[in-house]
Amino acid sequence: MKSGTKQATEKRFLNPTRQSAQATAFSEKLGARIVGQDTAVQGMSDLYQIFLAGMNPQHRPIGTMLFLGPTGAGKTRVVEAAAEVLFGNAYAMVKIDCAEFQHSHEIAKLIGSPPGYLGHRETQPLLTQENLNRMHTDEQKLTIVLFDEIEKASDSLWQLLLGILDKATLTLGDNRRVDFSKTIVVMTSNLGAREMTELISGGIGFTSGQGNNKRVVVEQLDQHMERTAVEAARRKFSPEFMNRIDKIVVFRSLQENHLRQILDLELRAVQERVMAAGTKFMFECSNGAKERLLDEGLDTRYGARHLKRSVERLLVSPLSNLVASDQIEFGDLIYVDVEGEQLTFEKRSAGPVLSDFEEVVDQKESEALPYTNVRIPVRHVRMIQLPIGLCTIS
């Protein structure tokens, strides 16, 4: 009798931190595309979990977030990557470039002109229900709305956002109502960027010291950046506007290991572009070549975006010239090294490394993103699943 009573009163503790398989997969895929911004990735993942569980608040958006940080930190990229994971297209969202709405009369481009005003019914407003629902499917009725560089917009746009953030509704110029209850609203801003750049002076998060001491310095730097960004936002926006934002995410400073991972992602993206072009070939960068790209791409004012420009200038442009001049042919393997300050390009295999292949599988179909899958006869290549920029010749 006592044993039965003990079993009946035994407590079962649940794990509130465990996510569903679908939300976990979303978080992993998003994390594979974003480097060094775990807080932003977790924030998007939490909102997606709320949407999947149907626990989003009624008459409000699923969630609203404000991304702060210096230019080149990846604020817009996080939102594009989330759209890419969910819908297979980085542009499958409603993006409002707030720099285009610096004057109050330009708000008509978003909601349309009211009756009696010039342009009424002549142009389609951007924020219509049809535009919000264009990416909906039977299984997933969700829309990501991005207000990019919100600080550049007129005060009229901020007033317009009050109703969207609080009641998830917007009234167009012709009195139609737009429902934002199935949206994730993200706003980005560079407020405080100049002050944050001064804090990071000397390199993008590169600090002296080793081990625990370096980690402490980096954590202190991130805390200073967070306070600087939030204070700048509070000075710019009204209290009622800030009070309607669910979460403010300040993007952290990038460390050396982050930049190396970003470089790997950029090189994979270049290889994807090559495989989508007419002349398909593989390339491999030596460690020296990667170091040269990193050195050239380091700029405290522009963040990791400057690294992408260095890849375009030092790697993509020369490869394009080599392809256009027929020095690179279909199926070649190109080894990229460095001599002095110049990258060198050597044809290691006068292919066909990729000849007679049956099909190229789009890398977007492979969610883990570490490989481009190419089906090639074994007589040419020992590996069927080729790492980006590397293959083994038999």
Q: What is the 3-state secondary structure (H, E, C) of 50-104?
A: HHHHCCCCCCCCCEEEEEECCCCCCHHHHHHHHHHHHHCCCCCCEEEEHHHCCCH
Q: Report the C-alpha gap between 196 and 252 in whole angstroms.
A: 10
Q: What is the pLDDT along the chain (394 residues), one digit of tens a residue?
A: 555 555 556 888 888 888 888 989 999 999 988 888 889 999 999 999 999 988 888 889 999 999 998 877 889 999 999 999 999 888 999 999 999 888 888 888 888 766 555 555 666 788 989 999 988 888 888 999 999 999 998 888 888 899 899 889 998 888 889 999 999 999 999 888 788 777 766 444 444 445 556 666 667 777 888 888 899 999 999 999 999 999 999 987 777 777 888 888 889 989 888 888 877 888 989 999 998 988 887 765 666 777 888 899 999 999 999 999 988 888 889 899 988 888 999 888 665 555 443 344 344 444 433 333 333 333 333 332 334 444 333 3
Residues 364 and 250 in one domain: no
Q: Is 193 among the domain residues?
A: yes
Distances (CA, A) of 245 to 48, 55, 187, 193, 234: 17, 18, 10, 20, 12
Q: Report the C-alpha gap between 75 and 114 in whole angstroms.
A: 34
> Quick one: which of 187, 235, 204, 211 has its CA closest to 70?
204
> Quick one: which of 247, 345, 265, 342 has its CA closest to 44?
247
> Quick one: which of 216, 336, 255, 186 has its CA closest to 36?
255
pLDDT value of position 142: 92
Residues 290 and 309 in one domain: yes
Please give the structure tokens belonging to residue 40.
């932003």
Of 229, 254, 279, at which residue does a domain stop?
A: 254
Residues 357 and 245 in one domain: no
Of 254, 285, 316, at which residue does a domain stop?
A: 254
pLDDT value of position 341: 84
Q: Report the C-alpha gap between 97 and 73 in whole angstroms.
A: 18
Residues 310 and 345 in one domain: yes
Residues 381 and 359 in one domain: yes
pLDDT value of position 328: 87
pLDDT value of position 302: 65
Residues 166 and 313 in one domain: no
pLDDT value of position 381: 33
Number of domains in the chain: 2
Residues 235 and 334 in one domain: no
Phi/psi of residue 269, nearest 5 degrees: -65, -40
pLDDT value of position 2: 54
Residues 161 and 188 in one domain: yes
**What range defines the domain where residue 347 resides?**
257-387
Residues 109 and 242 in one domain: yes
What torsion, rounded to 10 degrees, do the Cα atoms 115, 121, 123, 124 define?
100
Please give the structure tokens belonging to residue 70.
């210096």
pLDDT value of position 379: 30
User: What 3-state class would DSSP assign to 158?
Assistant: helix
Of 212, 237, 254, at which residue does a domain stop?
A: 254
Q: Is 14 among the domain residues?
A: no
pTM over 0.95: no
Residues 25 and 116 in one domain: yes
Question: Is residue 164 a contact partner of residue 111, using CB atoms and an 8 Å limit?
Answer: no
Q: Is 4 among the domain residues?
A: no
